[in-house]
Amino acid sequence: MQSLAQRLEHLKSHSARLAGSDLRQLIAADAGRAERMSLRVDGLFVSFARQHVDAEAVQALLSVAQASGMAAAIPSLLNGAQVNRSEGRPALHSALRTVFDSPVASAAAAEAKAARDRMAAMTQQLRASGVTDIINVGIGGSDLGPRLALDALKDFSDGRFRIHFLSNVDAHSAERLLSELEPSRTAAILVSKSFGTQETLLNGALIREWLGGGERLYAVSANVPKAEAFGIAPERVLPMWDWVGGRYSLWSAVGFSVMLALGEQGFAEMLAGAEQIDRHFMEAAPEQNLPLMHALMAVWNRNAEGHSAQAVLPYDERLRLLPAYLQQLVMESLGKRVSHEGAAIEHDTVPVIWGGAGTDSQHSFFQALHQGTQVVPADFIGVIQPDHRHAEQHRVLLSHLLAQTEALANGDVGATPQQHSPGGRPTTLILLDKLSPKTFGALVALYEHSVYAQSVIWGINAFDQFGVELGKQLASKLLPVLQGAAQADDPVSAALVREINARS
């Protein structure tokens, strides 16, 4: 049986075999490629036709997935096995939206349903109040998911509440936000699993003072006593669980602000879209499995082709925050250098995720995508049916979307060397029939399961994030140094503190 290193080396041999065939040649030589290398799950369509692979390479990738134990790994995740091995617990974000027939998953789904019922009751209470503005106070997974969802799905809000987000501990953010609001018409939701996140508690204390107390404070946390000590009554605390990581928590009470904006039905539709991908991930054959195929293209680009970055380029302004959301989902999940067993790994894992919304980004960094020395694979995301009546502008937007993927693949000889674009730049095109709560849920779940499949192939844990904690620990040690109550251990930090304090 081949080792992981041997399997990845075998992929490199296929990359070497294809090195002399550019994308234009691969596409021209295969009349049915565009149809065969596309998959649809209800309102979500994905084309891999412009990835630098042929049928033989795809079969090699599927063999890598099989050898990694993918057939068992997928139901292990969805049925509640302890896939988060370093912390000894399951990763049951799918149970927040899908009921699978296993005792662990079913129990988690029941808890999630009870939490949604409480969210719905609180939503009705707030709708009956005089509150017009809601501040979601959280950071990382307690901020990025709801922020993305509400920016993307603003057209589906009834406008009853204006939802605002406060994440950064930089008080300039709070000052600017609160200057636009009335305390008597504002409520806030503090989102922190431990209720110990420094940024959230500092911002929460600032808002509590501004509100004149905790009567209009809500919390989403696993630590009810700490929330109560902060001034939030237990009946206004919604649950979090250790079997859901922050970056996978949009579907839980972390999405309370989403339910407030979209209503119970809109929130349910978002969960239904994710559920559709959950069931597809569990049931589809490997070659027809959309999250798995997306993951395999990512593994191909990282390990066979050696590309160290990945762009995410939504051609819909409503999805402009998707690159930032995926930076956390992908890089926090896959930014690992040791295996499940704690051994140093010898292969590359996560690429750098970055991007921006088209067409704005075409006028900033696309020059590097077309003619730079580094090849950057890209996911392009478009929406076929807009939610506005300006048909001609939408056709122009879609023409740019299609043109960019074509130009990156095929290039152009150009009249001069400076005008030459080499092409051969791989892309995946994701098309949503419409941007709705359901298709949005499906899109996010697609990326969640792609990330997990990549982690299975690489033999790493997608659900811990110990690297995030180191900086937090050092910050707690340096705060007394800035206050003049301690000395820094690191000589450079000591010098920098002296520079700061000399001018404070």
Q: Are 168 and 199 in contact (CB under 8 A)?
A: yes
How far, in Å, are 311, 322, 447 from residue 326 at the CA level? 10, 6, 8
Residue 52: HSE in the Cβ half-sphere, 13 Å Cα cutoff: 32
Catalytic residues: 332, 363, 472
The pLDDT profile of the chain, 504 residues, written as one tens digit per residue, is 788 888 999 999 999 999 988 899 999 999 999 999 999 999 999 999 999 999 999 999 999 999 999 999 999 999 999 999 999 999 999 999 999 999 999 999 999 999 999 999 999 999 999 999 999 999 999 999 999 999 999 999 999 999 999 999 999 999 999 999 999 999 999 999 999 899 999 999 999 999 999 999 999 999 999 999 999 999 999 999 999 999 999 999 999 999 999 999 999 999 999 999 999 999 999 999 999 999 999 999 999 999 999 999 999 999 999 999 999 999 999 999 999 999 999 999 999 999 999 999 999 999 999 999 999 999 999 999 999 999 999 999 999 999 999 999 999 998 999 999 999 999 999 999 999 999 999 999 999 999 999 999 999 999 999 988 888 888 889 999 999 899 999 999 999 999 999 998
* pTM for this predicted structure: 0.96
Q: Is the peptide bond before 359 cis (omega within 30 degrees of 0)?
A: yes
Pairing of the two strands 133-137 and 38-41: unpaired
Q: In what order do the strands lie in the sheet with 186-191?
A: 162-166, 133-137, 186-191, 217-220, 237-238
The whole-angstrom separation of Cα 25 and Cα 20 is: 9
